[in-house]
Amino acid sequence: MSAYSAYEAGWLGRGKFGRGKLPMTWNLQSIEHETFKRNTVAAVIAQIRFHPILKVPDRVAEFQDRVRGTFPGFAEVETREVGFRSPLGLEVREGKEFQFRKQDGSAMVNLGPAAIALENRDHKSHKDFLADMKVATDALLEVFSPIAPTRLGLRYVNSINREAIAADLKRPVEWSHLLDSKFISVPTELADLEDTLFSSEVRSPAERGMLTLRLGLLRHGDEEKAQYRLDLDRYVEGGFEMVEIFDLFELFTKDIYSLFRAAAGATLLEWMELKT
């Protein structure tokens, strides 16, 4: 299973798809990307899926030669996918993925016969992230062309810790200070947000593909306090070529950032602190 699907997870310039609002379903204002001193990003994942290339395991050394300047770490991982195959019931497919890590462990490329993905859990800059993705994509094209892509996705998973933000700001903060009211709506006559967990998902068309928003107050593992999760997944399935992918990533990044800014409250932006 790829990093993109397992995590439950722009280029600057105008690009060929232009700007403006998303379709009426979202009704978002397009906002130019800004850089902050802090961010809430827990993980960023970019993935390209393509029709299977059976020679990937045989030529992985050639791929490594092209990426190891950026991703020197290497591991070979056995994978197992379970699916339904009517009328025979469950079907188990075993395979291999090849992982290439940065020296500091902050980012990893996963390569398999039908997908390549970049995952970063120490996100600093969308430009740097997409530069790393370009290293991986260029190597893929140089070794395995032609590539017949089937899906392109970019996913930003944000985790907002109210207690940590309050400690940094040295004052109490409410969820209503950190997030727009539309993103924390629950039946308030029946429950408040102090001891309530909730989750929701919205999936709608956007320019060239789909935009999925998953949000909620969730507690993970043995965490005492819930954290707010804002999971933004922008993707297109079919109908694109490899030469378009970084124009599409530019479009995806703008849409994701516009939706994040629609959710962010004034106190959250104060804590993030805009760089000047």
What is the residue-averaged pLDDT of the chain?
85
Q: How many angstroms separate the first and last alpha carbons of the chain?
A: 41
**For residue 202, is pLDDT > 80?**
yes
**What is the model's pLDDT at position 128?**
95
Average pLDDT value for residue range 191-215? 83
Pick the closest to residue 115 from 53, 68, 179, 63 (CA basis): 53
Among 16-25, 55-64, 93-102, 156-165, the least confident range:
16-25
Alpha-carbon Rg for the chain, nearest whole angstrom, is 20
pLDDT band at 13 (very low <50, low <70, confident <90, very high): very low
pLDDT band at 185 (very low <50, low <70, confident <90, very high): confident
Average pLDDT value for residue range 26-30? 73
Full residue range of the structural domain in which residue 160 is found: 3-272
**What is the model's pLDDT at position 275?**
77
Q: Is 273 exposed, middle or buried (0-12, 13-18, 19+ CB in 10 A)?
A: exposed
Identity of residue 133:
M
| pLDDT > 70 in the chain, percent | 80
Number of helical (H) and strand (E) elements in the chain, helices listed first: 7, 9
pLDDT band at 221 (very low <50, low <70, confident <90, very high): low
**For residue 248, is pLDDT > 50?**
yes
- How many domains, in total, are found in the chain? 1
**For residue 76, is pLDDT > 90?**
yes
- The H or E element containing residue 42 is strand 41-50
Average pLDDT value for residue range 58-83? 90
Put the strands of the sheet holding 73-85 in their side by side order.
73-85, 89-101, 107-112, 115-120, 41-50, 149-160, 227-237, 209-218, 198-206
